[in-house]
Amino acid sequence: MGGVLLSRDADGEPRHLATDLTGTGPEYLALLDCHTGGVAWPEVVVLYGPGPTLLGSIDLSDVELGPPHGGEHRRVQAWHSDGDTVQATIVDYSGAGFDAVTWTGVFRMREGVLTLDDLTYVSGPEDL
């Protein structure tokens, strides 16, 4: 049976980040783990404001990565807030971590829509 859960780090702490992407903050970005029978799908990034109010979301499987890519899984490996943007490192991989490709990108609000922009290839299997 599948499920959707708040993503947690190795210490069991929720993976969320305080930020102010709308300029009216505070808001929180959070990562959702989606799976079916223990097999993970790409994470979903959600932005919540006071209330809580859902302000936006991005399914990482919908993000267009340039070559090389093609993994069946995508995770935010690291992130930090820079005021009105969030810098992120994203890993795209197959199976249990095979053929991992690392990208950086920037989460921001554009005309009321949460976006992931400025995707830059960092490294992949051919760089090993």
Long-range contacts of 20-23 (CB under 8 A, 24+ apart): 20/81, 20/83, 20/84, 21/47, 21/55, 21/84, 21/85, 21/86, 21/107, 21/108, 21/109, 21/114, 22/49, 22/55, 22/109, 23/84
Instruction: Give me the percent of the chain exceeding a pLDDT of 90.
Output: 56
pLDDT over 60 at 128, yes or no: no
Instruction: Give me the percent of the chain exceeding a pLDDT of 70.
Output: 90
84 lies in which domain range? 2-127
Residue that is written with structure tokens 């994470």 in the block:
43
Mean pLDDT within 1-25: 88
Rounded Cα gap, residues 1 and 88, in angstroms: 30
Q: What pLDDT does 116 receive?
A: 96
Instruction: Characterise 22 by phi-psi region: left (phi > 0), alpha (psi -120 to 50), beta (else).
Output: alpha
Do residues 101 and 92 make contact, with C-beta atoms less than 8 angstroms apart?
A: yes
pLDDT digits (tens, 9 = 90+) for 46-74: 999 998 899 999 999 889 877 666 667 88
DSSP letter assigned to residue 57: E
pLDDT over 80 at 127, yes or no: no
Total tally of structural domains belonging to the chain: 1
Q: What pLDDT does 29 receive?
A: 96
pLDDT over 90 at 106, yes or no: yes
